[in-house]
Amino acid sequence: MPLCVDGRRYIAGLQLNSLEHLRRQRANLGAATSTGLLHALWELPYGISFPRSSFGEIDRMTLTEAEDGWVQHRGDDIVRMYQPAGAIKWIAVSDKSLTRAINKAASHPPTVRRTAIWDTSTGGRSLNATVTLIEAKILGVGVLAFDGSRTRELVEPDAAIRGRPSVFRWWQAELAYRNWISSTTPIA
């Protein structure tokens, strides 16, 4: 799926949460791309009823005004129904310049596997390319060389850094999910 984060464009591998996708279809919900809504939802554990008064004013207002389906209102309590649409597992970028491709991939946090796809005719056999591939390895960015007919892996990407989950991960997945649902044709 195409993904644009902070003005940078990537191709992203979205691992879809099928149950959440079905729930959203039934509830006529799309992607939750509002960072304000996602931050408010982040404060609310899934499926547990919390009194409105336990939230700050901005989150309380955001959750109160949230479209039905993201939360459920039970009297003076709010229950989060939202689950992330999925998770981004990898990103890739393509460029004719090896250095630019690596820099673009490295600009994404290492919360996912990052790969630079180098459109080249040389296959990576120059001295400059060798030095740049060492830099890619240090950055944890994988490199694929594509010569127009075949693809070769020159550097394997590092595994994603697990770290603490954050709203950023939800937001990325929601952006990719939005792009995915807009690119799929509805079935009757």
Task: For residue range 3-61, list pLDDT tens digits in order.
Answer: 888 888 899 999 999 999 999 999 999 999 999 999 999 989 999 999 999 999 999 99
Do 159 and 73 lie in a common domain? no
Question: What per-residue confidence (pLDDT) applies to 187?
Answer: 54
For 28, residues 6+ apart whose C-beta sits below 8 A from its C-beta are 69
Please give the pLDDT value at position 134.
95
* HEC secondary structure over the chain: CEEEECCEEEEEEEEECHHHHHHHHHCCCCCCCCHHHHHHHHCCCECCEEEHHHCCHHHHHHHHHCCECCEEEECCEEEECCCCCEEEEEEEEEECCHHHHHHHHHCCCCCCEEEEEEECCCCCCCHHHHHHHHHHHHHCCEEEEECCCCEEEEECCCCCCCCCCCHHHHHHHHHHHHHHHHHCCCCC
Tens-place pLDDT, residues 121-147 = 665 566 778 899 999 999 999 999 998
* Domain boundaries, position 10: 1-30+84-188
Q: Does residue 24 sit in the same domain as residue 100?
A: yes
Task: For residues 46 and 17, state if they share a domain.
Answer: no
What confidence score (pLDDT) does residue 125 get?
67
Same domain, 111 and 40: no
Q: Number of structural domains, the chain?
A: 2
